[in-house]
Structure 1
Amino acid sequence: MQEDTVDQIIVVSTNNLSAQRATLRTYERVNGKLERKFAPMGAVVGYNGIGQNKREGDGQTPMGTYDMGMAFGTAAPPRGTRSTYQRITSDDYWIDDVNSPDYNQWKRYTGNPSSKWNSFERMNIDLYKYGMVIEYNTNPIVPGHGSAIFLHKWRGSTSPTAGCVAVSETDLVELLKWIDPKKSPTIIITLEDHFMSELDRYR
Protein backbone atom coordinates (compact mmCIF):
# COMPACT_ATOMS: atom_id res chain seq x y z
CA MET A 1 0.00 0.00 0.00
CA GLN A 2 1.24 3.49 -0.86
CA GLU A 3 2.10 5.44 2.27
CA ASP A 4 0.30 8.57 1.03
CA THR A 5 -2.99 6.68 0.74
CA VAL A 6 -2.98 5.71 4.42
CA ASP A 7 -5.10 8.21 6.35
CA GLN A 8 -5.41 6.44 9.72
CA ILE A 9 -2.45 5.01 11.62
CA ILE A 10 -2.18 3.16 14.93
CA VAL A 11 1.32 2.97 16.40
CA VAL A 12 2.01 0.42 19.14
CA SER A 13 5.45 0.80 20.70
CA THR A 14 7.37 -0.83 23.54
CA ASN A 15 10.50 0.33 25.36
CA ASN A 16 12.40 -2.85 24.44
CA LEU A 17 11.89 -6.14 22.64
CA SER A 18 10.93 -8.08 25.78
CA ALA A 19 8.56 -5.49 27.27
CA GLN A 20 4.95 -6.58 27.72
CA ARG A 21 3.50 -3.12 28.22
CA ALA A 22 3.15 -0.74 25.30
CA THR A 23 1.83 2.66 24.28
CA LEU A 24 -0.79 2.96 21.55
CA ARG A 25 -0.94 6.21 19.59
CA THR A 26 -3.40 7.21 16.87
CA TYR A 27 -2.94 9.50 13.89
CA GLU A 28 -5.24 10.71 11.14
CA ARG A 29 -4.53 12.64 7.97
CA VAL A 30 -6.36 15.97 8.00
CA ASN A 31 -5.97 18.31 5.02
CA GLY A 32 -3.00 16.26 3.90
CA LYS A 33 -1.20 16.36 7.25
CA LEU A 34 -0.96 13.63 9.90
CA GLU A 35 -2.36 14.78 13.22
CA ARG A 36 -2.63 12.98 16.54
CA LYS A 37 -6.18 11.78 17.19
CA PHE A 38 -6.55 10.48 20.77
CA ALA A 39 -4.34 10.84 23.81
CA PRO A 40 -1.86 7.95 24.09
CA MET A 41 -3.45 4.75 25.35
CA GLY A 42 -1.98 2.02 27.51
CA ALA A 43 -1.66 -1.36 25.79
CA VAL A 44 -0.17 -4.80 26.32
CA VAL A 45 1.51 -7.15 23.86
CA GLY A 46 2.73 -10.74 23.93
CA TYR A 47 4.22 -12.32 27.05
CA ASN A 48 7.52 -12.59 25.18
CA GLY A 49 7.37 -9.03 23.90
CA ILE A 50 7.63 -8.10 20.23
CA GLY A 51 9.79 -9.61 17.50
CA GLN A 52 10.54 -9.64 13.77
CA ASN A 53 10.45 -13.41 13.31
CA LYS A 54 7.06 -14.38 14.70
CA ARG A 55 6.37 -18.12 14.92
CA GLU A 56 3.33 -20.06 16.08
CA GLY A 57 3.12 -20.28 19.87
CA ASP A 58 6.18 -18.13 20.63
CA GLY A 59 4.27 -15.57 22.70
CA GLN A 60 5.54 -12.65 20.64
CA THR A 61 3.63 -9.87 18.94
CA PRO A 62 4.88 -9.42 15.36
CA MET A 63 6.80 -6.23 14.63
CA GLY A 64 5.98 -4.54 11.35
CA THR A 65 3.29 -2.64 9.50
CA TYR A 66 -0.06 -4.27 8.80
CA ASP A 67 -3.51 -3.41 7.51
CA MET A 68 -6.37 -3.43 9.99
CA GLY A 69 -8.98 -5.98 8.96
CA MET A 70 -12.55 -6.68 9.94
CA ALA A 71 -13.99 -6.06 13.37
CA PHE A 72 -15.65 -8.79 15.41
CA GLY A 73 -17.14 -9.50 18.79
CA THR A 74 -19.39 -11.55 21.00
CA ALA A 75 -21.38 -8.35 21.57
CA ALA A 76 -23.21 -6.23 19.03
CA PRO A 77 -20.99 -3.63 17.35
CA PRO A 78 -20.62 -0.34 19.19
CA ARG A 79 -22.82 2.36 17.68
CA GLY A 80 -20.85 4.11 14.97
CA THR A 81 -18.63 1.18 13.98
CA ARG A 82 -17.82 1.47 10.26
CA SER A 83 -15.71 -1.63 9.72
CA THR A 84 -17.24 -4.90 8.58
CA TYR A 85 -18.30 -6.55 11.84
CA GLN A 86 -18.57 -10.31 12.35
CA ARG A 87 -20.71 -11.36 15.33
CA ILE A 88 -19.15 -14.33 17.12
CA THR A 89 -21.16 -17.49 17.83
CA SER A 90 -20.33 -20.62 19.81
CA ASP A 91 -19.46 -22.34 16.52
CA ASP A 92 -16.65 -19.93 15.58
CA TYR A 93 -12.97 -20.89 15.69
CA TRP A 94 -9.67 -19.44 14.55
CA ILE A 95 -7.44 -22.24 13.32
CA ASP A 96 -3.83 -22.50 14.52
CA ASP A 97 -3.25 -26.08 13.33
CA VAL A 98 -0.13 -25.62 11.17
CA ASN A 99 -0.92 -28.78 9.19
CA SER A 100 -4.43 -27.70 8.25
CA PRO A 101 -5.35 -25.87 5.03
CA ASP A 102 -7.52 -23.70 7.32
CA TYR A 103 -4.45 -22.34 9.18
CA ASN A 104 -4.82 -18.72 10.30
CA GLN A 105 -8.43 -18.51 9.15
CA TRP A 106 -11.75 -17.98 10.87
CA LYS A 107 -14.01 -20.99 10.46
CA ARG A 108 -17.57 -21.68 11.58
CA TYR A 109 -18.18 -25.35 12.35
CA THR A 110 -21.13 -26.95 14.11
CA GLY A 111 -19.47 -30.31 14.76
CA ASN A 112 -16.73 -31.33 17.19
CA PRO A 113 -13.76 -29.07 16.35
CA SER A 114 -11.28 -31.58 17.78
CA SER A 115 -12.29 -34.03 15.07
CA LYS A 116 -11.46 -31.49 12.37
CA TRP A 117 -8.37 -29.65 13.66
CA ASN A 118 -5.48 -30.58 15.93
CA SER A 119 -5.36 -27.05 17.30
CA PHE A 120 -7.82 -24.16 17.27
CA GLU A 121 -8.85 -21.10 19.22
CA ARG A 122 -12.42 -20.63 20.37
CA MET A 123 -13.64 -17.17 19.42
CA ASN A 124 -16.59 -17.16 21.82
CA ILE A 125 -14.67 -15.82 24.83
CA ASP A 126 -14.95 -12.70 26.97
CA LEU A 127 -11.69 -11.19 25.67
CA TYR A 128 -13.31 -11.03 22.24
CA LYS A 129 -16.31 -8.99 23.31
CA TYR A 130 -14.87 -6.58 20.75
CA GLY A 131 -11.86 -6.93 18.52
CA MET A 132 -10.26 -6.33 15.14
CA VAL A 133 -8.11 -8.51 12.93
CA ILE A 134 -4.53 -7.35 12.42
CA GLU A 135 -3.69 -8.58 8.91
CA TYR A 136 -0.53 -10.41 9.88
CA ASN A 137 0.36 -13.55 7.88
CA THR A 138 -2.90 -13.38 5.96
CA ASN A 139 -1.80 -12.77 2.35
CA PRO A 140 -0.10 -15.07 1.76
CA ILE A 141 -0.59 -17.36 4.75
CA VAL A 142 2.65 -19.12 5.72
CA PRO A 143 2.02 -22.16 7.97
CA GLY A 144 3.77 -21.83 11.31
CA HIS A 145 4.52 -18.12 11.05
CA GLY A 146 1.81 -17.14 13.52
CA SER A 147 -1.96 -16.89 13.62
CA ALA A 148 -4.87 -15.08 15.24
CA ILE A 149 -3.19 -11.71 15.72
CA PHE A 150 -5.87 -9.30 16.88
CA LEU A 151 -6.49 -6.00 18.61
CA HIS A 152 -8.77 -6.93 21.50
CA LYS A 153 -9.82 -6.21 25.07
CA TRP A 154 -7.21 -6.75 27.76
CA ARG A 155 -7.47 -8.74 30.96
CA GLY A 156 -5.73 -5.84 32.65
CA SER A 157 -2.90 -3.37 32.22
CA THR A 158 -0.32 -5.85 33.52
CA SER A 159 -1.65 -9.00 31.79
CA PRO A 160 0.17 -9.72 28.52
CA THR A 161 -1.35 -11.57 25.58
CA ALA A 162 -0.28 -14.65 23.64
CA GLY A 163 0.75 -12.39 20.76
CA CYS A 164 -2.09 -9.94 20.18
CA VAL A 165 -2.31 -6.24 21.07
CA ALA A 166 -4.81 -5.51 23.83
CA VAL A 167 -6.23 -2.32 25.35
CA SER A 168 -8.98 -1.43 27.80
CA GLU A 169 -12.56 -1.96 26.66
CA THR A 170 -13.21 1.77 26.82
CA ASP A 171 -10.27 2.55 24.55
CA LEU A 172 -11.11 -0.33 22.22
CA VAL A 173 -14.64 0.99 21.69
CA GLU A 174 -13.21 4.42 20.86
CA LEU A 175 -10.88 2.84 18.32
CA LEU A 176 -13.67 0.78 16.75
CA LYS A 177 -15.82 3.88 16.32
CA TRP A 178 -12.89 5.85 14.87
CA ILE A 179 -11.46 3.36 12.39
CA ASP A 180 -12.78 3.91 8.87
CA PRO A 181 -12.00 1.27 6.20
CA LYS A 182 -12.11 4.01 3.55
CA LYS A 183 -9.06 5.60 5.19
CA SER A 184 -6.84 2.50 4.83
CA PRO A 185 -6.28 2.02 8.59
CA THR A 186 -2.80 0.67 9.31
CA ILE A 187 -1.04 -0.50 12.46
CA ILE A 188 2.69 -0.15 13.11
CA ILE A 189 4.21 -2.33 15.86
CA THR A 190 7.69 -1.17 16.76
CA LEU A 191 10.09 0.04 19.43
CA GLU A 192 9.53 3.36 21.18
CA ASP A 193 12.85 4.69 19.87
CA HIS A 194 11.83 3.93 16.29
CA PHE A 195 8.19 4.95 16.07
CA MET A 196 8.76 8.53 14.90
CA SER A 197 10.95 7.40 12.00
CA GLU A 198 8.36 4.76 11.11
CA LEU A 199 5.64 7.41 11.18
CA ASP A 200 7.68 9.81 9.04
CA ARG A 201 7.20 7.49 6.06
CA TYR A 202 3.55 8.54 6.03
CA ARG A 203 3.97 12.30 6.41
Structure 2
Amino acid sequence: MPAVATALLIAALAGCAGPGDGSRKHATDAKGSAGRSGTVGAPSGTQSPAGRPAPAERVDDLPGLGPRTRAEVPRDAEQVVVVTGSGRDASRSTVVLYERSAAEEKTGDAGGRPAWRAGPSWTAHNAARGWTEHHRQGDLRSPVGVFGLTDGGGKLPDPGTRLSYDHAEQGFTISGTGAEGEPLAGAFDYVVAINYNRKAGTSPRDWTRPLGEDRGGGIWFHVDHDGPTQGCISLSKPHMRKLLRTLDPARHPVVVMGDAGSLAR
Protein backbone atom coordinates (compact mmCIF):
# COMPACT_ATOMS: atom_id res chain seq x y z
CA MET A 1 0.00 0.00 0.00
CA PRO A 2 1.47 3.46 -0.86
CA ALA A 3 2.72 5.47 2.11
CA VAL A 4 0.13 8.24 1.60
CA ALA A 5 -2.75 5.75 1.51
CA THR A 6 -1.41 4.06 4.62
CA ALA A 7 -1.28 7.39 6.48
CA LEU A 8 -4.87 8.17 5.47
CA LEU A 9 -6.08 4.75 6.65
CA ILE A 10 -4.37 5.21 9.99
CA ALA A 11 -5.88 8.67 10.34
CA ALA A 12 -9.35 7.26 9.77
CA LEU A 13 -8.95 4.61 12.47
CA ALA A 14 -6.94 6.34 15.19
CA GLY A 15 -8.83 7.65 18.21
CA CYS A 16 -6.17 10.02 19.52
CA ALA A 17 -5.48 13.75 18.87
CA GLY A 18 -7.92 16.58 18.34
CA PRO A 19 -10.16 17.57 15.42
CA GLY A 20 -8.28 19.36 12.68
CA ASP A 21 -5.15 18.17 14.45
CA GLY A 22 -3.24 17.02 11.43
CA SER A 23 -4.13 13.41 12.12
CA ARG A 24 -4.61 13.05 8.36
CA LYS A 25 -0.89 13.69 8.13
CA HIS A 26 0.39 11.71 11.08
CA ALA A 27 2.61 8.75 10.30
CA THR A 28 1.71 6.68 13.33
CA ASP A 29 0.90 3.04 12.79
CA ALA A 30 -1.09 3.06 16.05
CA LYS A 31 -3.63 0.31 16.50
CA GLY A 32 -6.35 -0.31 19.08
CA SER A 33 -8.39 -3.21 20.68
CA ALA A 34 -11.24 -3.88 23.29
CA GLY A 35 -11.83 -5.03 26.87
CA ARG A 36 -13.67 -4.05 30.04
CA SER A 37 -11.27 -4.83 32.88
CA GLY A 38 -7.71 -4.04 33.92
CA THR A 39 -5.89 -1.93 36.56
CA VAL A 40 -3.77 1.22 37.18
CA GLY A 41 -1.08 2.13 39.68
CA ALA A 42 -1.04 5.08 42.04
CA PRO A 43 1.88 7.17 43.17
CA SER A 44 2.78 7.02 46.86
CA GLY A 45 1.84 10.63 47.53
CA THR A 46 2.71 14.27 46.98
CA GLN A 47 5.98 15.89 48.04
CA SER A 48 6.25 17.31 51.57
CA PRO A 49 7.93 20.70 52.14
CA ALA A 50 11.06 18.79 53.12
CA GLY A 51 11.10 17.05 49.76
CA ARG A 52 10.02 13.68 51.16
CA PRO A 53 6.89 11.91 49.87
CA ALA A 54 3.91 12.94 51.98
CA PRO A 55 1.61 10.15 53.19
CA ALA A 56 -1.05 9.34 50.63
CA GLU A 57 -4.62 10.05 51.66
CA ARG A 58 -6.55 6.99 52.86
CA VAL A 59 -10.15 6.79 51.66
CA ASP A 60 -12.70 4.06 52.38
CA ASP A 61 -14.06 4.05 48.85
CA LEU A 62 -13.29 5.52 45.46
CA PRO A 63 -14.66 9.10 45.63
CA GLY A 64 -17.16 10.26 43.05
CA LEU A 65 -18.21 6.78 41.93
CA GLY A 66 -21.83 5.75 42.30
CA PRO A 67 -23.02 2.17 42.95
CA ARG A 68 -23.38 1.25 39.27
CA THR A 69 -19.87 2.44 38.42
CA ARG A 70 -18.31 0.83 41.50
CA ALA A 71 -19.92 -2.48 40.56
CA GLU A 72 -18.03 -2.44 37.25
CA VAL A 73 -14.62 -2.22 38.95
CA PRO A 74 -13.20 -5.78 39.09
CA ARG A 75 -12.82 -7.17 42.59
CA ASP A 76 -9.17 -8.03 41.94
CA ALA A 77 -8.27 -4.50 40.85
CA GLU A 78 -5.69 -3.13 43.29
CA GLN A 79 -4.79 -0.10 41.19
CA VAL A 80 -7.44 2.23 39.75
CA VAL A 81 -7.03 5.48 37.87
CA VAL A 82 -10.15 7.65 37.95
CA VAL A 83 -10.54 10.16 35.10
CA THR A 84 -13.30 12.65 35.93
CA GLY A 85 -14.48 14.98 33.18
CA SER A 86 -15.47 18.51 34.19
CA GLY A 87 -18.69 18.27 32.17
CA ARG A 88 -20.59 16.06 29.76
CA ASP A 89 -19.50 18.19 26.79
CA ALA A 90 -16.22 19.50 28.24
CA SER A 91 -12.69 18.54 27.19
CA ARG A 92 -10.98 19.02 30.57
CA SER A 93 -10.52 16.29 33.17
CA THR A 94 -8.76 15.46 36.40
CA VAL A 95 -6.92 12.19 36.96
CA VAL A 96 -6.33 10.58 40.37
CA LEU A 97 -4.55 7.29 40.91
CA TYR A 98 -5.71 4.99 43.72
CA GLU A 99 -4.00 1.94 45.14
CA ARG A 100 -4.85 -0.64 47.76
CA SER A 101 -3.17 -3.65 49.34
CA ALA A 102 -4.46 -6.87 50.83
CA ALA A 103 -3.73 -5.53 54.32
CA GLU A 104 -5.77 -2.38 53.64
CA GLU A 105 -8.64 -4.46 52.29
CA LYS A 106 -8.88 -6.27 55.63
CA THR A 107 -9.32 -2.94 57.39
CA GLY A 108 -12.28 -1.94 55.21
CA ASP A 109 -15.70 -1.21 56.67
CA ALA A 110 -18.25 -3.80 57.78
CA GLY A 111 -19.62 -3.92 54.24
CA GLY A 112 -16.31 -5.31 53.04
CA ARG A 113 -15.29 -2.29 50.97
CA PRO A 114 -11.50 -1.84 50.74
CA ALA A 115 -9.53 1.20 51.80
CA TRP A 116 -7.67 3.03 49.04
CA ARG A 117 -4.61 5.28 48.97
CA ALA A 118 -5.14 8.37 46.81
CA GLY A 119 -2.32 9.85 44.78
CA PRO A 120 -2.09 13.46 43.60
CA SER A 121 -4.62 15.01 41.23
CA TRP A 122 -3.38 15.60 37.67
CA THR A 123 -4.97 17.81 35.01
CA ALA A 124 -5.76 16.22 31.67
CA HIS A 125 -7.56 16.66 28.36
CA ASN A 126 -10.21 14.33 26.97
CA ALA A 127 -12.12 14.44 23.67
CA ALA A 128 -13.15 17.78 22.16
CA ARG A 129 -16.90 17.13 22.56
CA GLY A 130 -16.75 15.44 25.95
CA TRP A 131 -18.08 11.97 26.80
CA THR A 132 -20.40 9.22 25.61
CA GLU A 133 -21.55 5.75 26.73
CA HIS A 134 -21.73 4.66 23.06
CA HIS A 135 -18.53 5.84 21.41
CA ARG A 136 -18.42 5.78 17.62
CA GLN A 137 -15.55 6.45 15.26
CA GLY A 138 -15.16 10.19 14.67
CA ASP A 139 -17.71 11.40 17.25
CA LEU A 140 -14.98 13.36 19.09
CA ARG A 141 -16.15 11.99 22.46
CA SER A 142 -14.27 9.84 24.95
CA PRO A 143 -15.90 6.53 25.98
CA VAL A 144 -17.42 6.30 29.47
CA GLY A 145 -16.67 3.08 31.33
CA VAL A 146 -14.23 0.85 33.17
CA PHE A 147 -11.40 -0.50 31.03
CA GLY A 148 -8.24 -2.52 31.56
CA LEU A 149 -4.72 -1.13 31.26
CA THR A 150 -2.35 -3.83 30.06
CA ASP A 151 -0.08 -2.45 27.34
CA GLY A 152 2.15 0.55 26.76
CA GLY A 153 4.50 1.88 24.15
CA GLY A 154 5.87 5.00 22.58
CA LYS A 155 8.38 6.76 20.40
CA LEU A 156 10.76 7.03 23.39
CA PRO A 157 12.41 4.04 25.10
CA ASP A 158 10.71 2.18 27.95
CA PRO A 159 10.88 4.47 31.04
CA GLY A 160 10.77 1.48 33.38
CA THR A 161 7.24 0.08 33.19
CA ARG A 162 6.08 -3.39 34.20
CA LEU A 163 3.56 -3.35 31.34
CA SER A 164 4.48 -4.79 27.98
CA TYR A 165 6.10 -1.90 26.09
CA ASP A 166 6.30 -1.43 22.32
CA HIS A 167 9.15 0.97 21.52
CA ALA A 168 8.79 2.03 17.88
CA GLU A 169 10.15 5.41 16.84
CA GLN A 170 8.41 5.51 13.47
CA GLY A 171 5.30 3.67 14.63
CA PHE A 172 4.49 6.39 17.17
CA THR A 173 5.31 9.44 15.05
CA ILE A 174 2.68 12.14 14.64
CA SER A 175 2.77 15.59 13.01
CA GLY A 176 0.43 18.45 12.24
CA THR A 177 -1.55 20.68 14.60
CA GLY A 178 -4.44 20.16 16.98
CA ALA A 179 -7.86 21.73 17.38
CA GLU A 180 -6.39 24.88 18.90
CA GLY A 181 -3.41 25.13 16.54
CA GLU A 182 -1.05 23.39 18.96
CA PRO A 183 1.71 21.14 17.50
CA LEU A 184 1.12 17.42 17.91
CA ALA A 185 4.76 16.36 17.71
CA GLY A 186 5.69 14.27 20.75
CA ALA A 187 2.13 13.37 21.71
CA PHE A 188 2.92 9.66 21.31
CA ASP A 189 6.31 9.74 23.03
CA TYR A 190 4.62 7.64 25.74
CA VAL A 191 1.25 5.90 25.51
CA VAL A 192 -0.81 3.45 27.56
CA ALA A 193 -3.55 1.66 25.64
CA ILE A 194 -7.02 1.87 27.19
CA ASN A 195 -8.77 -1.45 26.58
CA TYR A 196 -11.78 -0.03 24.78
CA ASN A 197 -12.53 -1.97 21.58
CA ARG A 198 -9.08 -3.53 21.46
CA LYS A 199 -7.44 -6.87 22.07
CA ALA A 200 -5.67 -6.80 25.44
CA GLY A 201 -2.13 -8.10 25.56
CA THR A 202 -1.10 -6.64 22.20
CA SER A 203 0.78 -3.52 21.15
CA PRO A 204 -1.18 -0.25 21.26
CA ARG A 205 -0.53 -0.29 17.49
CA ASP A 206 -2.63 -3.43 16.98
CA TRP A 207 -5.71 -2.37 15.00
CA THR A 208 -7.96 -5.30 16.02
CA ARG A 209 -11.49 -3.95 16.71
CA PRO A 210 -13.65 -6.63 18.41
CA LEU A 211 -16.73 -4.35 18.39
CA GLY A 212 -16.20 -3.32 14.78
CA GLU A 213 -14.40 -0.35 13.25
CA ASP A 214 -17.49 1.88 13.50
CA ARG A 215 -17.17 1.76 17.30
CA GLY A 216 -13.80 3.49 17.15
CA GLY A 217 -10.64 2.50 18.98
CA GLY A 218 -7.06 3.57 19.47
CA ILE A 219 -8.10 5.17 22.78
CA TRP A 220 -4.93 5.85 24.75
CA PHE A 221 -3.38 7.79 27.57
CA HIS A 222 -0.75 9.86 25.80
CA VAL A 223 1.35 13.01 26.22
CA ASP A 224 -0.71 16.20 26.35
CA HIS A 225 -0.41 18.60 23.39
CA ASP A 226 -2.23 21.47 25.14
CA GLY A 227 -5.54 20.86 23.45
CA PRO A 228 -8.50 18.45 23.30
CA THR A 229 -8.19 14.97 21.79
CA GLN A 230 -10.31 12.86 19.46
CA GLY A 231 -11.08 10.37 22.24
CA CYS A 232 -7.92 9.80 24.25
CA ILE A 233 -6.86 11.08 27.68
CA SER A 234 -3.72 13.22 27.62
CA LEU A 235 -1.36 13.96 30.53
CA SER A 236 1.88 15.89 30.85
CA LYS A 237 5.01 13.97 29.90
CA PRO A 238 6.23 13.65 33.53
CA HIS A 239 2.83 12.29 34.57
CA MET A 240 2.84 9.81 31.67
CA ARG A 241 6.24 8.55 32.80
CA LYS A 242 4.89 8.23 36.36
CA LEU A 243 1.84 6.36 35.13
CA LEU A 244 3.93 3.90 33.12
CA ARG A 245 6.34 3.30 36.00
CA THR A 246 3.53 2.74 38.50
CA LEU A 247 1.20 0.42 36.61
CA ASP A 248 1.72 -3.21 37.59
CA PRO A 249 -0.11 -5.94 35.64
CA ALA A 250 0.07 -8.19 38.72
CA ARG A 251 -2.25 -5.70 40.43
CA HIS A 252 -4.82 -5.74 37.61
CA PRO A 253 -4.94 -2.00 36.83
CA VAL A 254 -8.07 -0.39 35.41
CA VAL A 255 -9.19 3.07 34.38
CA VAL A 256 -12.60 4.40 35.38
CA MET A 257 -13.40 7.29 33.07
CA GLY A 258 -16.29 9.62 32.28
CA ASP A 259 -17.91 12.91 33.15
CA ALA A 260 -18.66 13.45 36.83
CA GLY A 261 -22.41 12.92 36.40
CA SER A 262 -21.98 9.57 34.65
CA LEU A 263 -19.45 8.27 37.17
CA ALA A 264 -21.74 9.19 40.09
CA ARG A 265 -24.47 6.77 38.96
Alignment TM-score, normalising by the size of structure 2: 0.58
Q: Given the superposition, is the C-alpha separation of residues 155 and 83 from structure 1 closer, same or farther in structure 2, using an over 3 Å criterion?
A: same
RMSD value over aligned CA atoms?
Answer: 1.7
How many percent of aligned residue pairs carry the same amino acid? Answer: 26
2:139 is the alignment partner of 1:58: yes
2:77 is the alignment partner of 1:6: yes
2:218 is the alignment partner of 1:148: yes
Which amino acid counterpart does residue 186 of structure 1 have in structure 2? V
- State the partner residue of 1:70: 151
- State the partner residue of 1:36: 117
User: 2:91 & 2:242 partners in 1: Cα distance?
Assistant: 22
Tell me how far 1:88 sits from its aligned partner: 1.6
User: 1:36 & 1:142 partners in 2: Cα distance?
Assistant: 37
- State the partner residue of 1:174: 242
Flag the structure with larger Rg. 2
- State the partner residue of 1:187: 255
Q: How does 1:14-33 map to 2 (within 5 A)?
A: 14-30=85-101, 31=103, 32=105, 33=114
Which amino acid counterpart does residue 117 of structure 2 have in structure 1? R
Alignment length, in residue pairs?
A: 163
2:94 is the alignment partner of 1:45: no
Equivalent pair of 1:45/1:166 in contact (CA under 8 Å): yes
* Larger strand share, 1 or 2: 1
Q: Given the superposition, is the C-alpha separation of residues 26 and 38 from structure 1 closer, same or farther in structure 2, using an over 3 Å criterion?
A: same
Q: List structure 1 runs of 4+ shifted beyond 4 angstroms.
A: none
Q: Deviations over 1:119-159 (max 9, x none)?
A: xxxx3232110011001012533221012100000012xx1
Equivalent pair of 2:156/2:169 in contact (CA under 8 Å): no
Which amino acid counterpart does residue 143 of structure 2 have in structure 1? P
- State the partner residue of 1:82: 162
- State the partner residue of 1:124: 173
User: 2:126 & 2:236 partners in 1: Cα distance?
Assistant: 13
User: 1:160 & 1:131 partners in 2: Cα distance?
Assistant: 16
Alignment TM-score, normalising by the size of structure 1: 0.75
